C-alpha cells in the first residue's frame, strides 16, 4: 500500500508539473492524453489504486466484504461497526432505537412512511426492515438528492433483500416528493426529518399546508435537533399547539458525550 501511495504521489507531482509545462501531451503522451483532461487521469489512478476512496465508499466495501446476502440486521450491524471507528452521519444505533419505537407505537397502522434525508441508507434499512415485520403493507419513501448516497443506498437495499415496491427510492428533493404524495391524495403516517437542517421547518409546514398529516395520528420525528442543530424548528415545534412533542435527550451518533435531541411530535389538529 505504501508503494502504491508513493507512486500515486509521484504521478500527481508529475501531472502538476505537466499542467504548467505541457510538453508531455505535445511530445510523448499517448493519443488519448491529447484530449483527456488531467483530472480524468487522476480519477482513473485513484480508481485502480483505491488510494483515496471517500469514506462512504470504504464503508460500502466493508459491508460488502463482511455481510451475508439477505440480512438487513447484519448490514446494519456492520455499518455501526465501521462507523464507531469512522464516524459519519447515520442516525446510529442509539437514536435509531428512538425512531424504531416511534414507528412501533403506531402498531400495524402505518401506510406511508417518509424519510427526508437518507444519506447512505442506514435509516432506510432500519425503517424498511421494521415495517416489513410490523406493517407489511406500508410503503416507505426514502428521499435524498445525492447520487453517491443514492447508489450506495440502492446497493445496500438490494443486498439486504429489501429493494422492491414497498421502498420508493427517490433521487429527488424533499419538497418535490411531499407535493407528489399530496398529488396522489395520500397522507403520511410517519415523517422522519434527517436532511438539510434549514429545511426541517419549511418541509414540516409544507406537509401541514398540503394536508399530508393525519390529525391525532401522524408523527414527525426529527433527528439532530441539537447537533448540528435546528433551533428555528425546535422553537416552532415546542410552541405549536397543533403538535404534542416529546423531547428525547440523547447523544450525537457514534459519540459518547456530544449532546443531541430527537423530537417526536404527534400532529393533533
Read off the pLDDT band of 35 (50, 70, 90). Answer: confident
Minimal CA–CA distance to 74: which of 64, 83, 84?
64
- Tens-place pLDDT, residues 93-132: 999 999 999 999 998 889 999 999 999 999 999 999 999 9
Domain 72-267, second-level architecture: 3-Layer(aba) Sandwich (3.40)
Average pLDDT over residues 203-219: 98
Q: What 3-state class would DSSP assign to 261?
A: strand
Distance, in Å, from the CA atom of 202 to the CA atom of 208, rounded to the nearest integer, reads 10
For 110, half-sphere exposure in the C-beta direction (CA atoms, 13 angstrom radius) is 31
> Mean pLDDT for the chain?
90
pLDDT for res 21: 46
- Tens-place pLDDT, residues 60-76: 999 999 999 999 999 99
Active site residues: 194, 197, 223-224, 253
Least confident range of 4-8, 71-75, 240-244: 4-8
pLDDT for res 13: 60
Which residues have a Cβ under 8 Å from the Cβ of 173 and sit 6 or more positions away?
A: 143, 145
Amino acid at each position: 500500500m505504501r508503494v502504491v501511495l508513493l507512486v500515486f504521489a509521484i504521478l500527481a507531482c508529475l501531472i502538476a508539473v505537466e499542467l504548467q509545462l505541457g510538453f508531455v501531451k505535445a511530445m510523448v503522451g499517448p493519443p488519448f492524453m491529447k484530449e483527456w483532461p488531467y483530472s480524468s487521469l487522476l480519477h482513473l489512478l485513484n480508481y485502480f489504486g483505491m488510494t483515496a476512496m471517500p469514506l462512504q465508499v470504504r464503508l460500502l466495501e466493508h459491508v460488502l466484504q463482511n455481510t451475508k446476502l439477505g440480512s438487513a440486521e447484519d448490514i446494519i450491524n456492520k455499518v455501526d461497526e465501521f462507523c464507531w471507528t469512522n464516524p459519519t452521519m447515520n442516525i446510529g444505533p442509539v437514536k435509531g432505537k428512538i425512531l424504531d419505537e416511534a414507528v412501533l407505537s403506531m402498531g400495524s397502522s402505518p401506510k406511508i412512511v417518509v424519510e427526508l434525508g437518507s444519506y447512505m441508507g442506514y435509516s432506510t434499512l432500519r425503517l424498511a426492515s421494521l415495517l416489513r415485520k410490523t406493517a407489511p403493507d406500508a410503503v416507505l419513501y426514502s428521499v435524498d438528492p445525492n447520487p453517491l448516497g443514492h447508489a450506495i443506498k440502492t446497493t445496500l437495499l438490494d443486498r439486504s433483500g429489501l429493494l422492491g415496491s414497498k421502498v420508493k427510492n427517490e433521487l429527488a428533493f424533499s419538497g418535490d416528493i411531499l407535493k407528489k404524495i399530496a398529488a396522489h391524495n395520500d397522507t403520511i403516517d410517519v415523517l422522519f426529518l434527517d436532511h438539510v437542517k434549514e429545511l426541517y421547518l419549511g418541509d414540516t409546514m409544507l406537509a401541514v399546508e398540503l394536508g399530508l398529516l393525519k390529525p391525532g395520528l401522524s408523527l414527525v420525528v426529527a433527528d439532530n435537533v441539537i447537533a448540528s442543530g435546528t433551533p428555528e424548528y425546535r422553537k416552532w415545534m415546542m410552541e405549536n399547539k397543533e403538535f404534542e412533542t416529546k423531547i428525547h435527550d440523547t447523544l450525537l451518533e457514534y459519540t459518547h458525550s456530544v449532546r443531541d435531541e430527537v423530537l417526536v411530535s404527534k400532529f393533533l389538529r
